[in-house]
Structure 1
């Protein structure tokens, strides 16, 4: 009985980490305004989620526009000078990367980037899963 209870507690504590076992690995940078117009919803202000946790994605994730509105759970894994903050954030895709070539897999809004990284100009390694 005690062994079973301990196992359940340990699995519960690891639940957040287990969720990322099947996650993808990529890079992320920040991007700033102007955020409008976007490829997904043009000049509509209501496309941006609360807290401005949104992203622009590279061609690899864009999926011919099917990525619009997709949500990802993302966490920082590493970068120069240990920029990562603990935890995860949930973001929404609102745009296609405007640069060619795109500087990273995912471009995070300034607010989203500061939620996962303490260094605003870093390129970080991230793990992400579609939710």
Structure 2
């Protein structure tokens, strides 16, 4: 990676920290998406009120799940997929806020479990959340995220 690319990454990170605050450390990972039905979930069972009106939510994978402690956590997520040789999968670079409602490896969330196992995604976003930051053809994206 050239020094110019590193400089641009550092500058983008500084802007991101300015926008989102510096309370938490930014993490980098992958995100995929899953489609309805979204319930039942590991966090809230079949309660339909668990789904935010914005439909911006996700299932947490890997260490983010934290044995269920992730339930209800809110994260700011931003697409960062881009390279010089491959067109970006990002629709934009604006962050969105999502709420964790499920485990990406839950046996009751088969779509999320499948997506997490195939992509290794830290976050498996609702379809609405994913499409808010990714281009329609993307199956997974690289993301920056931090707990709010």
TM-score under structure 2 normalisation? 0.72
5+ residue gaps, structure 2: 1-14, 106-112
Say if 1:54 and 1:94, in contact at 8 Å, map to a contact too.
yes
**Aligned mates of 1:48, 1:34 — CA distance in 2:** 11
Q: Which residue of 1 aligns with 2:129?
A: 112
Equivalence for 2:68:
65
How much has 1:20 moved relative to structure 2? 9.1
Secondary structure of residue in 2 paired with 1:28: strand
Report what 1:82 is aligned to. Answer: 88
What is the correspondence of 1:51-62 to structure 2 with a 5 Å cutoff?
51-62=54-65
Q: CA RMSD in A?
A: 2.3
Larger Rg: 1
Tell me the CA shift for residue 60 of structure 1: 1.3
Q: Which has more strand, going by share of residues?
A: 1
Number of paired residues?
119
Gaps of 5+ in 1: 1-13
SS of equivalent residue, structure 2 residue 71: coil
Is the CA contact (8 Å cut-off) linking 1:20 and 1:128 kept in structure 2? no
Moved more, 109-118 or 79-88: 79-88
Deviates more, 1:43-52 or 1:95-104: 95-104
TM-score by length of 1: 0.80
Q: Secondary structure at the match of 1:26?
A: strand
Match of 1:32 in 2: 35
For 1:43 and 1:74, how far apart are their aligned partners in 2?
26
